[in-house]
């Protein structure tokens, strides 16, 4: 079997339309992971659960009506964008414990991590994720650290490595070195993409990059905590960091079931008609019934005769 993970969503869609059920399930999982990354980044893990499930349901119900692979990404993105919009749109940040943080405050974890990073990286991440600092200032701070966006991407990767190796956060995506193709990532996580077309274009591109999609999903609660000021100072007012009740540990959102492949309906077996004439018996079955009936009749006559003889004698 070919490695389905190497296929594009459009290739999976075409294979599914041709009858490949495995490709259909892989396609459903791909879009589910993508929807999770988008909703977690924009709304937070917990607040995004209902929009995520609604988006997955709408995808499953509507995919049979998608006519061609070219329109797949635009159609699917509109679904999740609509659900995020109905949930109130992108939030400004917050402190949202989840399963990945084992119910702990992401802000508290980040404050443990800050002492394990160089001060210039802490300051850079604090400013990069705080939209009150102009991007020009962030770019100037990057000049002595390799330039923008390299320095921000490296500081983010170094932070993830500290969180994983030193503080037990089970990240699966920690790049060894920054990938400049992911340059817009900090802008996206920080909510600095003010042009809706730029943001939607980046999200559609995420669909083609599974690693980055997972990276955004698992770092989402920490990105939101950074936006709320987790690195801004040791005494950030708690009132500036909205909290929610942490969800109970449980399984990650599952992919929607494999959508049914559109196909011509197949005739079902006709139901039994209770008023139909019984089927004709075969000649051998009829003969067997006659012989058995005769023997039973003869046996009855003998029994009656013996009983009558007993009472007559």
256 near 76, Cβ under 8 Å?
no
* Domain region containing 116: 93-249
| Residue after which a domain boundary falls, among 249, 277, 297 | 249
Place of tokens 């940040």: 93
Question: For 56-66, what is each residue's pLDDT tens digit?
Answer: 999 999 999 99
CB atoms closer than 10 angstroms to residue 252: 12
How many domains does one find in the chain? Answer: 2
- Looking at the fold, whether 152 and 76 belong to one and the same domain comes out as no
255 occurs within a structural domain: no
User: Residue 143: is it exposed, middle or buried by C-beta count within 10 angstroms (0-12/13-18/19+)?
Assistant: exposed
308 occurs within a structural domain: no
- Looking at the fold, whether 226 and 109 belong to one and the same domain comes out as yes
- Looking at the fold, whether 161 and 226 belong to one and the same domain comes out as yes
- Looking at the fold, whether 45 and 170 belong to one and the same domain comes out as no
- Say what the pTM is: 0.74
- CA distances (Å), origin 91, targets 73, 96, 242, 310: 24, 12, 11, 102
- Looking at the fold, whether 9 and 46 belong to one and the same domain comes out as yes
The confidence score (pLDDT) of residue 46 equals 87
Does 35 score more than 60 pLDDT? yes
Does 17 score more than 80 pLDDT? yes
| Residue after which a domain boundary falls, among 38, 69, 91 | 91
- Looking at the fold, whether 63 and 142 belong to one and the same domain comes out as no
199 occurs within a structural domain: yes
| Residue after which a domain boundary falls, among 216, 249, 282 | 249
* C-alpha to C-alpha distance for 174 and 252, rounded to whole angstroms: 20
296 occurs within a structural domain: no
- Looking at the fold, whether 129 and 69 belong to one and the same domain comes out as no
Cα-based torsion angle of the residue sequence 41, 204, 80, 254 in order, rounded to the nearest 10 degrees: -70
- Looking at the fold, whether 23 and 116 belong to one and the same domain comes out as no
Place of tokens 């399984």: 251
Question: For 112-144, what is each residue's pLDDT tens digit?
Answer: 999 999 999 999 999 999 989 999 999 999 999
Does 173 score more than 70 pLDDT? yes
The confidence score (pLDDT) of residue 297 equals 41
Q: Is the dihedral of CA 69, 6, 189, 86 positive or negative?
A: positive
């Amino acid at each position: 079997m070919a490695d389905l993970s190497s296929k594009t969503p459009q290739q999976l869609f075409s294979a599914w339309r041709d009858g490949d059920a495995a490709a259909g399930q892989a396609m459903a999982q791909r879009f589910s992971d993508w929807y999770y990354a988008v909703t977690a980044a924009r709304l937070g893990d917990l607040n995004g659960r209902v929009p995520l499930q609604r988006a997955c349901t709408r995808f499953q119900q509507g995919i049979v009506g998608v006519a061609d692979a070219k329109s797949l990404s635009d159609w699917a993105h509109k679904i999740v964008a609509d659900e995020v919009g109905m949930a109130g749109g992108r939030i400004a940040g917050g402190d949202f414990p989840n399963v990945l943080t084992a119910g702990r405050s992401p802000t508290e974890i980040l404050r443990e991590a800050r002492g394990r990073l160089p001060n210039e990286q802490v300051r850079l991440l604090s400013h990069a994720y705080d939209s009150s600092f102009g991007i020009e200032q962030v770019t100037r701070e990057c000049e002595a650290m390799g330039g923008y966006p390299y320095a921000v991407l490296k500081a983010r990767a170094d932070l993830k490595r500290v969180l994983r190796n030193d503080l037990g956060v089970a990240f699966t995506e920690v790049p060894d070195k920054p990938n400049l193709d992911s340059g817009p990532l900090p802008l996206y996580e920080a909510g600095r993409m003010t042009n809706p077309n730029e943001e939607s274009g980046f999200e559609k591109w995420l669909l083609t990059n599974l690693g980055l999609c997972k990276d955004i999903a698992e770092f989402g609660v920490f990105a939101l905590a950074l936006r709320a000021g987790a690195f801004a100072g040791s005494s950030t007012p708690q009132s500036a960091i909205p909290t929610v009740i942490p969800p109970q540990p449980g399984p990650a959102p599952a992919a929607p079931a494999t959508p049914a492949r559109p196909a011509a309906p197949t005739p079902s077996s006709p139901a039994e008609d209770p008023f139909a004439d019984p089927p004709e018996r075969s000649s051998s079955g009829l003969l067997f019934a006659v012989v058995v009936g005769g023997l039973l009749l003869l046996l009855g006559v003998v029994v009656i005769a013996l009983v009558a003889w007993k009472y007559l004698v």
